[in-house]
A and B are shown apart, each in its own frame.
Chain A
Amino acid sequence: MKIKHLVSGIALSMGASVLSVSAMAADTIKVGVLHSLSGTMAISETTLKDTVLMMVEEQNKKGGLLGKKLEAVVVDPASNWPLFAEKTRELLTKDQVDVIFGCWTSVSRKSALPVLEELNGLMFYPVQYEGEESSKNVFYTGAAPNQQAIPAVDYLMNDLGVKRWVLAGTDYVYPRTTNKILEAYLKAKGVAEEDIMINYTPFGHSDWQSIVSDIKSFGAEGKKTAVVSTINGDANVPFYKELGNQGISAEDIPVVAFSVGEEELSGLDTKPLVGHLAAWNYFQSVESDANSAFISQWKAFTGNPDRVTNDPMEATYIGFKMWTQAVEKAGTTDVDAVEQAMIGQETENLTGGMAYMNKNHHLSKPVLIGEIQDDGQFEVVWETEGVVPGDAWSDFLPGSKDLIADWTAPISCGNYNTVTKTCSGQNY
């Protein structure tokens, strides 16, 4: 059985290399776009599809890549997680794309991952996520927890003097993992058990009365309190509304959110949100030449002067730039060559400074904390000095403390245990 598996694996990988050769022979380089264009995630993911199309168009204006034109192949996995795996297979075998930009939710990435590894594809994943993963075939250009959650907590603790913590999240994998990391981190910083309140709510929760009232009484004990929110999507609006109605303002109990960006704010009344915080690697309001050029390019591309930009768009932008640089450096679109050429690539952040691709396939990026303004934009109130390298395996979880990811020789492994000196090779 095992041998049979091995043989089929070899056959497949040979097939894949034959395919990639035939793809190279074609006169275009194909860029796969794997973002949901329908269903619940369409709201967020359509924007990223357009971003990739914009980047492809721009690259073609510059004369393409390796003397060939880029061609975008767009598929719609329809917010349906198993469909992500099927569409990945379709992109890699039928369309024979050279690279894929795609996925938003962690569960969709976990669904596409086995296919990518089996067919040796290459994917850029542009969204902040819970970490605990590093695949040879994926580059993670969004933030790992140490590039978003941990700095945000540091800011609250050191600058605002927060002593009591509410970790509120939607009940699924990203908030649960992030909160686990945060809880361990806070305890390591000497926060007592009774000063941490953890709360989970279902997707789309709309009745926040009791929870907000609990937060209010939790915060009335005399110590400065903050809410660290991993509440997802739609549920945020009624949450902030209830905070406003129960009279909790950002000065009393600030809420720092990891999934509320410019795009999400554009659909709601920001009055009750002013002063609450968000942690990202990018804000539209940051003033820099690269950013204003990007924003006007985006507005022109979409033909809508009111469109906003957000963090996952910057992550897509950086990923795309780095990929083109790596292809140029490798002189080919062959996945293994590009993968090695990617490590150590540098490109300009839209917020200034350089983003750097590390050996663990995660970026080094600056972390910004912004306060929500009444116009739906963020005002940066704090940023890290210099860039923070993304950590694939959290240092604060018992299971992943000893793990590192290093895709260069001699380790070449996504989860190398520094104590036992072994590589388990398991990502999902």
Chain B
Amino acid sequence: MRYINAICACLLGLLISTSVLAEPPSEAQQPLLLELTEVKLNKALPVLQQLETTEGADMLALFKTMLNGDLYYEKESKRLIAALKEQSVTRYTDLFSGEELNDLSKNQVSKIKVNNKLRGYLGEAIARMQLNHPDSVVRKDAVRSLFSDLGANTIELIRTARLKEQSRSVQDVMDVALALYRTEHAAEATDRLQAVKVLEGSLEPEVRNQLTRLAENDPSRSVRKAAQTGLDKIDQKAEMYGFINQLFFGLSLGSVLLLAAIGLAITFGVMGVINMAHGEMIMLGAYTTYVVQLMLPNMIEYSLWIAVPLAFMVSGLAGILIERLVIRHLHGRPLETLLATFGISLILQQMVRTVFSPLNRQVATPDWMSGSIEINPLLSLTLNRLYIVAFALLVFMILLIVLKKTSLGLNVRAVSQNRDMAKAMGIRTDRVDALTFGLGSGIAGIAGVALSQLTNVGPNLGQAYIIDSFMVVVFGGVGNLWGTLVAAFTLGVANKFIEPVTGAVLASILVLVFIILFIQKRPKGLFPQKGRAAE
């Protein structure tokens, strides 16, 4: 809601910061603009307030540029300048004439600083100015961002705008705003009662807060009762959406677990290799994303699509190398394999520390993955999580198809069921082993690309996920992809439903305890492999 609006305002601001004010500032505005360049941060608010109300040029662009922190002034002439940062270059334009000032250097300009107080004010002022914006979505967001601060002036502006408003949905939010004001200020109980009726059905948090106040404090009994009824309705809906929200959180955590574990489901589940370096394969994928963004700084938006196949190749090749050089020689000796791969994981971590740095690396999130879709004021789904749920399922499907429908998949299954028989049938088990391990590692690399959007890209990235991955694979049943899927989502959802009750620390402990108990009862996991091959 108003958060989203703030984001929208920022995005819009980005677009607009190069554009210019339509007319030069009036004589009354000029001294204020000059003052803006000189005033201390904590004294700037009254200057801005005067600028908003003083007649003259439209201050929308100025306010937006300032909100973004892109407002500068030339030290000598004190004229205001908008800065547009593009990668490492900053371009300056005169805020009022729109003239490009390419020969200005960093030392000649000074930034006009903003703090939270000013940002809050600027957001509201921009909303007030945008009540007559041609786009109805902008108008609607403008009204909603004013909910938290409905003074008499603002209400007057909304009332005037309401008369001209054509769009149904904007009319609705404007009515809610006006009703909010009336419940607070109307002297007659009947007026307030009417206003409460208008508020019914709105899910805005401000409405809920106002109804709570009315239900407790309003002098009129009928108003109190109506407010209580409205409140009950909202609470009912809030409960439902809260449940959906938690479910989504669970699915999203589940999809992260699925991504992390699915590669292991192949190397550990199908091949039976205890691969402690699995986490580092994920890490390699995440670093591939970093390198892609480093190499192509102008293509952040597409970087993930480029990184996915690259990460698959990098981690896949690393996996094949590990299999050829180490694991092949330790066939059938799980303890030695465990130790050797643990050693490899340490080597890979140290390698990354030496090559990149022990510090975490910065991986940018493309704009299309930032922010959230708002379904209603009580329920919004974050975009990055949504994409990752979809991506995890996609990877799962592709892997399933590879194993079930391709000749490689057939070979893999044959080798994992009975190595000697497969060999006798002419399958080159060595090659299949290497490819399988490469496939599992490559998938881990892809997971790394997705995880780089959620967590830190650093040398310890892999360690954070290795335990979770083993947990999921063991819980789901070794050698069963569907088991991995079900286990990942079960653990994710369970974790997220326990967390609000017990806190994050206890929630993960409870999940672990549950798995231990479960494995006691069913040592082969949710979906044990059947048949002779399993014994």
Contacts and interface: CB of A to CB of B under 8 A. Distances in A.
B456 A237 contact: yes
Interface in A128-184: 160, 171
A275 B358 contact: no
Contact of A269 (B117, B119, B365, B508): B365
Interface string B190-201: 000000000000
A267 B383 contact: no
Among B7, B208, B363, B454, find the residue whose CB has the most chain A CB atoms closer than 10 A. B454
B371 A245 contact: yes
A373 interface: yes
A238 interface: yes
Interface string B337-376: 0000000000000000000001111111100001110100
Given A160-B117, A210-B499, A250-B119, A381 B41 contact: yes
Nearest to A274: B69
Interface in A219-237: 220-222, 234, 237
Interface stretch (A86-94, A195-203, A326-334): A195-203
B380 interface: yes
B460 interface: yes
Contacts of B383: 245
A152 B88 CA distance: 34
B504 A43 contact: no
Contacts of A42: 358
A362 B204 CA distance: 49
A200 B206 contact: no
B249 A247 contact: no
A371 interface: yes
A268 to B, nearest CB: 5
Interface range for A: 35 or more
Contact of B249 (A209, A234, A268): A209
Contacts of A214: 500
A251 interface: yes
A250 B116 contact: yes
Contacts of A287: none
A376 B271 CA distance: 46
A251 B69 CA distance: 14
Contact of B382 (A46, A171, A210, A245): A245
A246 B504 CA distance: 19
Contacts of A171: 505
Interface in B208-264: 208-209, 245-246, 249, 252-253, 256
B115 interface: yes
Interface string B99-122: 000000000000001011101100
Contact of B385 (A160, A209, A251, A275): A209
B360 A160 contact: no
A418 interface: no
B370 A245 contact: yes
B113 A200 contact: no
Contacts of B316: none
B360 A267 contact: yes
Interface in B245-299: 245-246, 249, 252-253, 256
B256 A207 contact: yes
A43 B459 CA distance: 11
A210 B3 CA distance: 18
A311 interface: no
A371 B116 contact: yes
Given A246-B382, A251-B120, A252-B3, A267 B359 contact: yes
A241 interface: yes
B505 A210 contact: no
A379 interface: yes
A205 B209 contact: no
Interface in B483-510: 496, 499-500, 503-505, 508
A247 B360 contact: no
Most B-side CB within 10 Å, residue of A46, A247, A252, A379 = A247
A30 to B, nearest CB: 28
A244 B6 CA distance: 11
B396 to A, nearest CB: 20
Most buried by B among A46, A266, A268: A268
A340 B504 CA distance: 47
Contacts of B384: 245
B209 A221 contact: yes
Given A250-B116, A381-B41, A210 B249 contact: yes
A8 interface: no
Contacts of A374: 69
Interface string A265-308: 01111000011000000000000000000000000000000000
Contacts of B69: 274, 373-374
A213 interface: yes
B123 interface: yes
Contacts of B119: 249-251, 275
A209 B382 contact: yes
Contacts of A266: 359
Nearest to B115: A381
Nearest to A251: B120
* Interface core residue of A160, A238, A267, A371 (most chain B CB under 10 Å): A267
Given A200-B503, A245-B383, A251-B120, A379 B115 contact: yes
A159 to B, nearest CB: 8
Contacts of A379: 113, 115
With most chain B CB atoms within 10 A of its CB, the pick from A200, A207, A267 is: A207
A251 B205 contact: no
B249 A238 contact: no
Nearest to B213: A222
B245 to A, nearest CB: 6
Contact of A268 (B113, B245, B360, B371): B360
B460 A251 contact: no
Contact of B464 (A43, A206, A241): A206
Contact of A201 (B41, B252, B253, B505): B505
Contacts of A346: none
Nearest to A206: B455
A285 to B, nearest CB: 11
Nearest to B256: A207
Contact of A220 (B205, B253, B505): B205
A9 interface: no
B359 to A, nearest CB: 5
A82 interface: no
Contacts of B245: 213
Given A43-B358, A160-B116, A249 B3 contact: yes
B4 interface: yes
A371 B256 CA distance: 32
Nearest to B245: A213
Contacts of A221: 205, 209
A373 B3 CA distance: 19
Contact of B370 (A200, A238, A244, A250): A244
Contact of A234 (B363, B371, B454, B458): B458
A254 B116 contact: yes
Interface in A330-373: 371, 373
A201 B4 contact: no
5 contacts: A205-B504, A209-B252, A210-B249, A249-B7, A275-B119
Given A242-B382, A249-B119, A252-B2, 13 more contacts: A40-B460, A43-B359, A199-B503, A202-B504, A206-B454, A206-B455, A209-B249, A211-B504, A220-B205, A238-B456, A247-B371, A269-B363, A374-B69
Interface of A: 40, 42-43, 46, 160, 171, 199-202, 204-207, 209-211, 213-214, 220-222, 234, 237-238, 241-242, 244-252, 254, 266-269, 274-275, 371, 373-374, 379, 381
Closest CB pairs A-B (n = 5) = A247-B3, A222-B209, A220-B205, A251-B120, A206-B455
